[in-house]
C-alpha cells in the first residue's frame, strides 16, 4: 500500500488483484456488464485519486476499496433513480446456472433471485450497501463491517434489519 | 418465494459471473496509469464518505458556522432580526433632499446617517442608495424603526407602489412629501382641481410629517360631509357574553313530556344547529351531525327556552348544539346534554333557572 501511494506500478498490482472481485460485485449488483464496467472504472479511479487518504486498517485495502465500489453503486442507483428496472431483472436471470436440474426449479429459482435483487433497490442505501457488501461482494462479516465503517456488532444489527426489510418488500410484492 | 431472501442473496453471491473483459481490463489499467502520472492539482475529498459520527460532527460545525455568519451579517446590516435601531446611511446622493420629521433639512453628503423619521426625496435625475435600497428619481424614502420604507413615484392613475427594504404587513397610509397619486380611487368623490388640504377627519389622523421640500399631500379627497355617526350602544342592553363553545342547558318539564333547551351565543358562529336524539329503550346513541336528526337551524342563540314535545315511550333525549360559521363550517359544538324524560330530570346541562317558566316558547 505504501508503495502504491508513490509508485503507480504498485497500484497496478492492487488493481490486478482486486479487479475480478470488484467487477463481479458490480455485475452481481447491477446485472449488466456495461454498467458493471462503468462502476469498476469509476471505483478504481476514485480509489487511485484518494489513495493518500487511506489509512491502514486491520482489514487492509479490500474493505476500503469495496466501500468505494459500494458508494459508486449507490450513486449509480441514485442517478438512474430506478426502483425496479426490468433490464436488471432480466440480467439477473443470467446469474443462474445454465444447466439446471429441473426446468421447473430453474424458473422458480431464477425468479426468486431476480425478485430479491430487484427488491433490494427499494431499500435504503444503507441497507443496500450492507446486504450487497456482505452477500454480493463476498466479504466476511468483519470485512463488511470495516467497509461500512461500523463495528461488527452494528453491522450485524444493520444486516438483520436490512434482511427484515427485504423480506417485507418481497412479501409485499408476492401479495401484489 | 419459498426461500428466505437472505439465502437467495447468498446464492446470488456464490453464482459464477463472467470475468471482466481483458480488453476492458487493459484499457482501464492504462487509464489508471495515466491518471497516476498526471499530477492532480487538488486532491479530491476522501473516497469513502466519512462515517456517520464524523458526518454529524461536520454538519453540526457547518450549521454553527452558518448561524454565526447569519447573525453577524444581520447585526452588521441592520436586517430584521439584527439591530433595527442602527441608523442607515445615505450613499452616493445626487439631487437628494433629506428632511427630518421636525422639518429640518439636512446637508447632504455621502455617508450621511439617516435618523429615525428622516424623509429622503430624490429629485429629477437624482439617485441615492440607502444600504441595499436604490432610490430613483421621484422616490421618497422614510426611515422607520431603522428600516427604509420607499414609495416609488408613478404616473397618476397607476397603482401606487410601495416597496420597503424590509417586508411590511400593510402599506403606509401616511402622506409623503411628494404629490402622491390617488391611493384609493373613490367613485363618489368629485375631482379636486385645487391642491387638497390636509384634512384631519375624525377617523383619519395622518401623521403630521412636515416635509418642506414638497407641497403637502393628502391621503385622500375630503370625504363626504356627512359625518360618520357611530351607533352608540345602548347602555341598557349589555353585549352578549360570547363563549368559545355553546354552553348548552337542557331539562325536562316537571310533567316529563317536554324538553327545554337553550344555549349561549358563541364566537364566530353564524348559525346553530340543534341536534336531538330520542330513545325509547335505554340510552340513545350519540347525536349524529349532520343527519336526519337535526331538530332545527337557528340564526342566533335563543333568548328564550326552546321546547319540544316528547312522546310517552321516549325515556331519554340527548341534545347537542353545533355552531356553524359563515360558510356552514363547524366552529364548535356543545357538550351532549342527556335529559331523562318522564319527570326524572338529569343531564349534563345546567338546571333551569327558577325564573324561567318551563312552558315558555
Task: Convert the pLDDT of each residue in A32-85 to its tens digit.
Answer: 888 889 899 999 988 888 887 777 777 778 888 999 999 888 888 777 655 445
The pLDDT, as a whole number, for residue B83 is 42
The torsion region of residue A81 among left (phi > 0), alpha (psi -120 to 50) and beta comes to: left
Residue found under cell 314535545: B309
| A2-44 pLDDT per residue, tens | 666 666 677 888 888 889 999 999 988 888 888 889 899 999 9
> Whats the size of chain B, residue-wise?
361
The pLDDT, as a whole number, for residue B54 is 67
Q: Which three cell numbers stand for residue B17?
A: 459471473
Q: What is the pTM of this model?
A: 0.38
The pLDDT, as a whole number, for residue A160 is 92
Say yes or no: A175 contacts chain B, CB-CB below 8 A. no
* Prediction ipTM score: 0.74
State whether B32 and A15 contact (CB < 8 Å): yes
Q: Which three cell numbers stand for residue A14?
A: 492492487
User: What is the mean pLDDT, run by run of 10 residues, along chain B of 361 residues?
Assistant: 73 84 88 74 50 71 81 62 60 82 78 83 82 80 79 47 39 40 42 43 43 43 43 52 84 84 88 77 51 71 84 75 83 84 45 40 36
Say yes or no: B1 contacts chain A, CB-CB below 8 A. yes
Q: What residues 36-75 of chain B have any CB closer than 8 A to a CB of chain A? A: 36-37, 40, 43-49, 51-52
Query: Minimal Cα–Cα distance from A7 to chain B, Å?
Result: 8
Residue A157 confidence class, pLDDT cut points 50, 70, 90: very high
pLDDT higher than threshold 70 for residue A91:
no
The pLDDT, as a whole number, for residue B354 is 39
Handedness of CA A113, A115, A116, A118 (dihedral sign): positive
Among A80, A47, A21, A160, which residue's Cα sits nearest to residue B4? A160
Query: Minimal Cα–Cα distance from A85 to chain B, Å?
Result: 18
Q: What residues 128-157 of chain A have any CB closer than 8 A to a CB of chain B? A: 131, 135-138, 149-150
Query: Minimal Cα–Cα distance from B129 to chain A, Å?
Result: 46
Per 3-state DSSP, what percentage of chain B is helix, strand, and coil (rounded to 5)?
15, 25, 60
DSSP secondary structure string, B162-174?
Answer: EEESS--SS---S
Amino acid at each position: 500500500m505504501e508503495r502504491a501511494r508513490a509508485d503507480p506500478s504498485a497500484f497496478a498490482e492492487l488493481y490486478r488483484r482486486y479487479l475480478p472481485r470488484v467487477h463481479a460485485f458490480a455485475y452481481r449488483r447491477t446485472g449488466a456488464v456495461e454498467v458493471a464496467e462503468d462502476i469498476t472504472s469509476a471505483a478504481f479511479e476514485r480509489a487511485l485519486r484518494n489513495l493518500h487518504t487511506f489509512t491502514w486498517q486491520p482489514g487492509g485495502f479490500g474493505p476500503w476499496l469495496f466501500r468505494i465500489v459500494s458508494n459508486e453503486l449507490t450513486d449509480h442507483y441514485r442517478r438512474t433513480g430506478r426502483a425496479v428496472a426490468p433490464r436488471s431483472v432480466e440480467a439477473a436471470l443470467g446469474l443462474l446456472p445454465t444447466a439446471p436440474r429441473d426446468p421447473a426449479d430453474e424458473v422458480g429459482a431464477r425468479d426468486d433471485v431476480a425478485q430479491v435483487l430487484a427488491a433490494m433497490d427499494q431499500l435504503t442505501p444503507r441497507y443496500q450497501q450492507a446486504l450487497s457488501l456482505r452477500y454480493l461482494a463476498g466479504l466476511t462479516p468483519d470485512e463488511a463491517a470495516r467497509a461500512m465503517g461500523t463495528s461488527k456488532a452494528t453491522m450485524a444489527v444493520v444486516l438483520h434489519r436490512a434482511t427484515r426489510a427485504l423480506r417485507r418488500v418481497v412479501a409485499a410484492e408476492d401479495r401484489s | 418465494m419459498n426461500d428466505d431472501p437472505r439465502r437467495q442473496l447468498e446464492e446470488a453471491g456464490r453464482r459464477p459471473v463472467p470475468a471482466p473483459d481483458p480488453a476492458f481490463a487493459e484499457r482501464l489499467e492504462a487509464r489508471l496509469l495515466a491518471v497516476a502520472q498526471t499530477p492532480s492539482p487538488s486532491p479530491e475529498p476522501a473516497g469513502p464518505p466519512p462515517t456517520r459520527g464524523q458526518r454529524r460532527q461536520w454538519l453540526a460545525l457547518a450549521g454553527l458556522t452558518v448561524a454565526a455568519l447569519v447573525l453577524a451579517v444581520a447585526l452588521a446590516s441592520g436586517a430584521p432580526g439584527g439591530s433595527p435601531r442602527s441608523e442607515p446611511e445615505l450613499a452616493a446622493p445626487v439631487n437628494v433632499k433629506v428632511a427630518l420629521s421636525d422639518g429640518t433639512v439636512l446637508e447632504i453628503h455621502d455617508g450621511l446617517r439617516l435618523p429615525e423619521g428622516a424623509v429622503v426625496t430624490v429629485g429629477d435625475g437624482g439617485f441615492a442608495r440607502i444600504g441595499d435600497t436604490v432610490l430613483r428619481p421621484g422616490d421618497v424614502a422614510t426611515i422607520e424603526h431603522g428600516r427604509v420604507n420607499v414609495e416609488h413615484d408613478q404616473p397618476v392613475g397607476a397603482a401606487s407602489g410601495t416597496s420597503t427594504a424590509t417586508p411590511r404587513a400593510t402599506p403606509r397610509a401616511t402622506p409623503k412629501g411628494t404629490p402622491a397619486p390617488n391611493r384609493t380611487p373613490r367613485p363618489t368623490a368629485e375631482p379636486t382641481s385645487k391642491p387638497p388640504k390636509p384634512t384631519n377627519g375624525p377617523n383619519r389622523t395622518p401623521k403630521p410629517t412636515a416635509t418642506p421640500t414638497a407641497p403637502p399631500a393628502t391621503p385622500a379627497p375630503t370625504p363626504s360631509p356627512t359625518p360618520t355617526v357611530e351607533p352608540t350602544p345602548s347602555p341598557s342592553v349589555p353585549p352578549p357574553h360570547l363563549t368559545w363553545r355553546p354552553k348548552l342547558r337542557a331539562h325536562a318539564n316537571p310533567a316529563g313530556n317536554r324538553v327545554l333547551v337553550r344555549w349561549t351565543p358563541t364566537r364566530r358562529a353564524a348559525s346553530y344547529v340543534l341536534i336531538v336524539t330520542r330513545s325509547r329503550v335505554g340510552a340513545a346513541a350519540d347525536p349524529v351531525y349532520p343527519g336526519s336528526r337535526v331538530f332545527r337551524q337557528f340564526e342566533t342563540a335563543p333568548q328564550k327556552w326552546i321546547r319540544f314535545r316528547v312522546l310517552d315511550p321516549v325515556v331519554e333525549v340527548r341534545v347537542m348544539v353545533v355552531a356553524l360559521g359563515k360558510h356552514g363550517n363547524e366552529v364548535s359544538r356543545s357538550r351532549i346534554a342527556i335529559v331523562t324524560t318522564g319527570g326524572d330530570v338529569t343531564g349534563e346541562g345546567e338546571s333551569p333557572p327558577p325564573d324561567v317558566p318551563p312552558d315558555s316558547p
